[in-house]
Structure 1
Amino acid sequence: MERLPYIDEHAITVPADRAATWRAVLRTMCSNPDNPETVPFGFALEAVEQNERLALTGRHPFSIYRLIFLLDDDPAGGTRVAAQSWAAFPGFTGSIYRALVIGSGGHRVVVGNILKHIARQAFSTRAPQR
């Protein structure tokens, strides 16, 4: 897929180790967490690096897009999950679509909700503390 313009990055720190957080990313983004290729409609799996990176791509008449989840150890503990968005919006209809999706703040809300869901999934499946 071609190089796309950077849109934004949103991140959250999850109070779980990287392996648990990775499983939470897959449970959130894949219909079958054991198979990273089962990504949501409108996306295709571009790359997967276990416990580190899940890259999804897609396209339709109004945009070409990439959504990348990056996992890193947080120095204060837990795992930092960042969601990077990249997209092009070709033509006049693309610019209208960009205004509706990005300009309205809807994209920010959706990505934020995905990250919160990942955090809830990771927290709910952590091993009990002893």
Structure 2
Amino acid sequence: MEPTDPTSGLPFIDEHQVRVAASAATTWDALVAHVARTRLGVSSGFAHLVGTEPRGATGTLPQEGATIPGFAVAESVRQERLTLAGRHRFSQYALIFSLVERPDGTTLSARSHGSFPKLPGVLYRGLVIGSGAHPFLVRRMLRDISRSAERREAGQGT
């Protein structure tokens, strides 16, 4: 049986990318470490407030099925793609990280999909997407991962 596509039926929101002066292997390690360390900014308080599913952390990232508050690993292909999916009262969403190794490093991208049903969802979308907060935070996250990967590649640690 084929795995279910977590983006199936979810409208595309946006995509951001950054060039990383590091190998795909090093960029992957920095990506996984960033997700594990930051939980993508979803605190347990926020997870409880909006009713995220999944609610807590289980398993070991980046294994498929592992979770952090608000996200489950739907797909994990080392050095190529990490797909996180989740939902809460106002939205169902997926965040897909893709890595493409190039001669001069790696292109790391983050593609977002989401649906925001009914009036509360529309209002939430306006607050998060329409305000510019989402693109700002995704670009900052990609820059942080890039810097971490480049430090790792240079042998300076995380």
Fold equivalence (TM over 0.5)? yes
Matches within 5 A, 1:31-50: 31=37, 35-37=61-63, 39-50=67-78
Q: Which runs of 5 or more structure 2 residues have no equivalent in the other structure?
A: 1-5, 38-59
Q: Percent identity?
A: 42
115, 130, 135: which is aligned to 1:88? 115
**Per the alignment, in what secondary structure is the counterpart of residue 122 of structure 1?**
helix
- Which range moves more in the overlay, 88-97 or 1-10? 1-10
- Which range moves more in the overlay, 112-121 or 45-54? 112-121
Map Cα deviations across residues 79-129 of structure 1 (whole Å, 9 max, x no partner): 00000000000000000000000000000011011101111110111155x
AA at the equivalent of 2:11: P
Pairing 1:62–2:62 present? no
**Per the alignment, in what secondary structure is the counterpart of residue 125 of structure 1?**
helix
Q: Could you tell me how far apart the structure 2 residues matched to 1:87 and 1:126 are? A: 34
- Hey, what does 2:53 align to over in structure 1? none
Report the Cα offset of residue 39 of structure 1: 4.8
Q: Could you tell me how far apart the structure 1 residues matched to 2:16 and 2:151 are? A: 22
Q: Could you tell me how far apart the structure 2 residues matched to 1:124 and 1:89 are? A: 38
Q: Which runs of 5 or more structure 1 residues have no equivalent in the other structure?
A: none
Pairing 1:24–2:30 present? yes
Q: Could you tell me how far apart the structure 1 residues matched to 2:89 and 2:138 are? A: 22
Q: Could you tell me how far apart the structure 1 residues matched to 2:33 and 2:142 are? A: 12
Alpha-carbon RMSD: 1.5
AA at the equivalent of 2:130: G
Normalised by the length of structure 1, the TM-score is 0.89
AA at the equivalent of 2:29: R
**Per the alignment, in what secondary structure is the counterpart of residue 79 of structure 1?**
strand
Q: Stretches of 4+ moved more than 4 A in 1?
A: none
**Per the alignment, in what secondary structure is the counterpart of residue 119 of structure 1?**
helix
Q: Could you tell me how far apart the structure 2 residues matched to 1:3 and 1:29 are? A: 25
Q: Could you tell me how far apart the structure 2 residues matched to 1:121 and 1:39 are? A: 22
